[in-house]
Amino acid sequence: MRNFKSILVTGGAGFIGSHVIRKLLINRPEAKVVNLDALTYAGNLTNLRDVETNSRYAFVKGDIQDAALIEKLFADYTFDAVVHLAAESHVDRSIENPMAFLQTNILGTATLLNAARTAWAEGFGDRIFYHISTDEVYGSLEADGLFTEETAYDPRSPYSSSKASSDHLVRSWHHTYGLPVVISNCSNNYGAFQFPEKLIPLMIRNIRDEMPLPIYGEGINVRDWLWVEDHASAIDIILHAGANGRTYNIGGLNEWKNIDLVHELIRLVDKALGRPEGYSKKLITFVKDRSGHDLRYAIDASRIEKELGWTPSIKFEEGLAATVDWYLNNGDWLDSVTSGAYQKYYETMYGNRE
């Protein structure tokens, strides 16, 4: 088991990163945590309001492609671990603007790898560079089968190929320079603070506001949903106990067809808002499919269970109900992140789908 004194988390103002920072501050009282985040549209410091006065936490606004800044941060904070989450993360945006994905996800990751290698040149010891990746690098499944850590890479969107590239870079720094690394590939996360461009918060908001519910294609695509706090726990465990050079798949064993999930969200939101059962079904709108839409993702998470003892802690029904409650009770957060630029995004993405 490793112990760290100074951890660099990139992308900590985003959805998963904010949960990871909270988890590390609670579980690791000996560690300082520095959050490096460029505060793109997806980064929001209100996601971390409850920890901002913690003396073991610091925020630095900056880009992971800024080599000089990262070199200075390594010198100032003497990091002994990096947890790298910063990324452009939304598939639809990658279809509209692939270059931003290549820059942040590929060049940004290479910049961080180089900085760690240089800063730790006198000896790697127990230090670790932990790269957070996605199950989308494995491509798309038909009705059967699961992604294992041995599944061949077959990314099919600019987002997933940029993440696959970054995984390859991390492994190449390990094999070529000996940099201690660990990688995890996780399925779809859900929970509080997710930007409402992603399916679950977008649908909750639209049901609340009685707006159309845009289902891509026929709604038959399948995703494996995991509670974000369970992902954060898995990350904490892998960071401290994952084997050097190893990859771990993380998933919820919880597959849902999009259309079924939207029906479940309609049931939960209508109930919470005191509407008659089935009231919002009329909002369902089938729209033009996502280009190259992956049919199904599903994870075999037996390695992390066997080797590190991690399994999801809560049932989907419980997590989804808590998530719906969170968004309905945090309408200010939802309204603030969907004001301004979000309206233009929504018009561009959905205006030409119908």
What residue ranges bind ligand DAU (CB under 6 A)?
A: 89-91, 134-136, 187-188, 198-199, 202, 214-216, 221, 223, 258, 290, 297
Spatial CA neighbour of 280 closest among 270, 271, 272, 290: 270
Q: Which of residues 190-219 bind ligand NAD (CB under 6 A)?
A: 195
- Closer residue to ligand DAU (CB): 297 or 333: 297
* 188 is a contact residue toward ligand NAD (CB under 6 A): yes
What is the nearest approach in angstroms of ligand DAU to the Cβ of residue 178?
A: 28
Q: Give the shortest CB-125-to-ligand NAD separation in angstroms.
A: 26
**CA neighbours closer than 13 Å in the CB half-sphere of residue 321:** 7
By beta-carbon proximity to ligand DAU, the closer residue of 165 and 221 is 221
**Is 20 near ligand NAD (CB under 6 A)?**
no
Residue indicated by tokens 């109900």: 321
Q: Is residue 43 part of the contact set for ligand NAD (CB under 6 A)?
A: yes
Q: Which is nearer to ligand NAD, 4 or 15 (CB)?
A: 15
13 binds ligand NAD (CB under 6 A): yes
Contacts 24+ apart (CB under 8 A), 312-318: 312/226, 312/227, 312/230, 312/252, 312/253, 312/254, 313/227, 313/229, 313/230, 313/233, 314/227, 314/230, 316/225, 316/227, 316/252, 316/254, 316/256
Q: How far is the CB of 82 from ligand NAD (least distance, A)?
A: 13
Give the SS3 label for residue 129. strand
- 25, 26, 43, 32: which is closest to 8 by C-alpha? 32
Residues marked active site are found at: 135-136, 159
For ligand NAD, the binding residues in 303-322 under the rule CB under 6 A are none
Among 37, 149, 224, 229, binds ligand NAD (CB under 6 A): 37
Provide the angle, in degrees to the nearest 10, between the axes of the packed helices 316-329 and 199-208.
50
When asked if residue 94 is in the footprint of ligand NAD (CB under 6 A), the reply is: no
For residue 81, which of 178, 8, 131, 169 has the smallest C-alpha distance? Answer: 8
Residues from 150 through 169 that contact ligand NAD (CB under 6 A): 163
